[in-house]
Amino acid sequence: MTCNLPTGRRLSSDEPHAVALVDPLTGLGNARYLRQSVCTLADERASDPAPFTIALANLDGFKPINDLFGPEAGDRILRQVAHRLKACVPESATVTRTTDDEFAIVLPLTFERKGAEKLGQMLKEALSAPFALGDRNVRLSASFGFAVYPFAGGTFEDLLKSADTALYRSKRRGRGQITVYSQEIAQEMKRATALEQALRNAIIADEVDMHFQPIVDLRTDTVVGFEALARWCDADLGYVSPSVFVPLAEERGFIDALADALLRKAAQAALSWPKELFLSFNLSSAQLTDPATSARLLAIIGQVGLDPRRLELEITETAVMADANVAQRIVSELRAAGVRVSLDDFGTGQSSLGRLRDFTFDKVKIDRAFVSRISADRASEHIVRAIVSMCEGLELEVVAEGIEHSSEAAKLKALGCGMGQGYFYGKPADALATMRYLSHRYRDVAAVR
């Protein structure tokens, strides 16, 4: 193993350079000590290269906790994390703190994937227990990435890079995930990086398009607005689903550039519509954690010349939950400027009723999971009925998503649902096709009159 550090015996705590290998906050070894430990172990096994494993553990959501309670509380949590990790790992293992909220563990007796996953599950459970902060407790989770030597790398740098790749994949999959590096994962991450570069280029070249799906008044079957939906067809990659490229833009930190370009394009298209029609646009989780979001969005529609009262922004409960305080401030600022705000995918979250109490929305969109079964499933029918009745009491408008059949439309009308959208009323179409759709609809209405 290439290390570029002396291997062999480790420094004891009373030797002159030992302090350079210690993390002063936790008393664990630091990043340099991690390197020395790995290189020493590899050196010891040079004649008989038995596998060993390194693990990276990263706390999920540590920064908001640190910001909320202060750095002193954050330090207390990190010391407790260090204590729990040391208590859980085998005696032969070495625990280090490598960065702010990231820890690394050298596991000499963990030889393969199953052993790594089993240990990861145990560590995950240990770190999920509440952390004591004086008179309050806080909960965190942790994500893990494992790499087994020599399969995941023959040098310290390659092995650490593989563990970091596994950790990154865990983070992409959500909180509290465990990943052991493999060639399949490496290829998956390579594809994601290639997709990222293609998407960045597409944004610069203005190649990510907007399609628009009609939203209708169910009482009159007239169009009242359109939801803007991102579409991207790459020359080499072909069609890429927004469920793939939008989360990727969030993960890689350029969702603002993508969202700004798409909102500008959608707002420009909406200028050609009859002025009574609104534009509905989706906000991402990342945008709802950025305090500058409202000012940036209002600046864009101001530059385009779209009346804020014609803009409706859709947010999901999951997005709100990322940072409720910042999200609430953004929603308030947007509504104060005349923008309407809609709670999307209602009924699928864990505390949707609480969101209706804590936030001020203008509209609720009933998730298609209920709409698609409304004609055949009594439970879905009763849920939709209850949502419509509740929103009427709260003076909220209601939109049913995913209407695909006339029977669903008829049932929703009978239940008193005000608006709807779905393939029954129109599939998403580009700006030109949307204008043709509008010209036909308005011509038909004029003919009836």
Mean pLDDT of 148-164: 93
53 contacts 116 by C-beta, under 8 angstroms: yes
Rounded CA separation 169/144 (Å): 9
Which residue type does 80 have? Q
Tokens 């790995």 — which residue? 38
Give 16-42 pLDDT, tens digit per residue: 456 689 999 999 999 999 999 999 998
The pLDDT, as a whole number, for residue 325 is 84
Q: Could you please report the per-residue DSSP string of 372-393?
A: TTTTT-HHHHHHHHHHHHHHHH
Mean pLDDT of 438-446: 68
The pLDDT, as a whole number, for residue 24 is 94
Mean pLDDT of 294-318: 95
Reply yes or no on whether the pLDDT at 226 is more than 80.
yes
Mean pLDDT of 64-81: 90
278 contacts 225 by C-beta, under 8 angstroms: yes
Mean pLDDT of 345-368: 77
Q: Is the dihedral of CA 373, 377, 380, 386 positive or negative?
A: positive
Mean pLDDT of 69-98: 95
Taking each helix axis as running N to C, give the angle between helix 62-69 and helix 71-88, from 0 to 180 degrees, rounded to the nearest 10. Answer: 140
Phi and psi (nearest 5°) for 310?
-95, 0
Structure tokens belonging to residue 409: 């439309």
Rounded CA separation 449/441 (Å): 13
The pLDDT, as a whole number, for residue 166 is 95
In this structure, the strands spanning 222-234 and 52-60 are: unpaired
302 contacts 337 by C-beta, under 8 angstroms: no
Give 290-303 pLDDT, tens digit per residue: 999 999 999 999 99
Rounded CA separation 279/432 (Å): 16
pLDDT band of residue 285 (cuts 50, 70, 90) is: confident
pLDDT band of residue 11 (cuts 50, 70, 90) is: very low
Percent of the chain with pLDDT over 70: 92
* All structural domains of the chain: 18-181 (3.30.70.270), 193-448 (3.20.20.450)
423 contacts 404 by C-beta, under 8 angstroms: yes
